[in-house]
């Protein structure tokens, strides 16, 4: 199985935050933890803004309407940070 096939099968189920990390739980049981510093909009957000998220599609991505931020699960698996 190629990396792109693994990424294509990766769907988010839940998102949680610590003081300095975002933790994305996937439907297959994996968890991805990344530094909030990778995503400046998230790092600067209030707790209420962070917790107001929704899944894109079947979980291919995560959207924060208050922050106008979208993050793909495939990008997280590749270690992709926010542009900027």
Find the domain containing 41 and state its range.
Answer: 3-78
Question: What's the whole-model pTM score?
Answer: 0.88
CB 11 within 8 Å of CB 26? yes
Instruction: Quote the CA–CA distance of 54 and 56 in Å, as a whole number.
Output: 7
Q: Is residue 84 in a domain? A: no
Task: Please report, for the domain that includes residue 69, its CATH number.
Answer: 3.30.2020.40
| Distance (Å) of CA 55 to CA 2, 52, 71, 78 | 25, 11, 10, 19
CB 7 within 8 Å of CB 13? no
* pLDDT tier, 40 (very low <50, low <70, confident <90, very high otherwise): very high
Give 71-83 pLDDT, tens digit per residue.
Answer: 999 999 999 998 7
């Amino acid at each position: 199985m190629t990396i792109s096939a693994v990424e294509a099968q990766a769907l988010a189920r839940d998102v949680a935050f610590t003081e300095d990390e975002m933790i994305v739980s996937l439907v297959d049981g994996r968890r991805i933890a990344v530094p909030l510093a990778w995503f400046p909009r998230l790092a600067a957000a209030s707790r209420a803004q962070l917790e107001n998220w929704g899944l894109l599609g079947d979980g291919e991505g995560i959207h924060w309407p208050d922050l106008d931020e979208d993050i793909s699960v495939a990008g997280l698996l590749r270690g992709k940070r926010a542009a900027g």
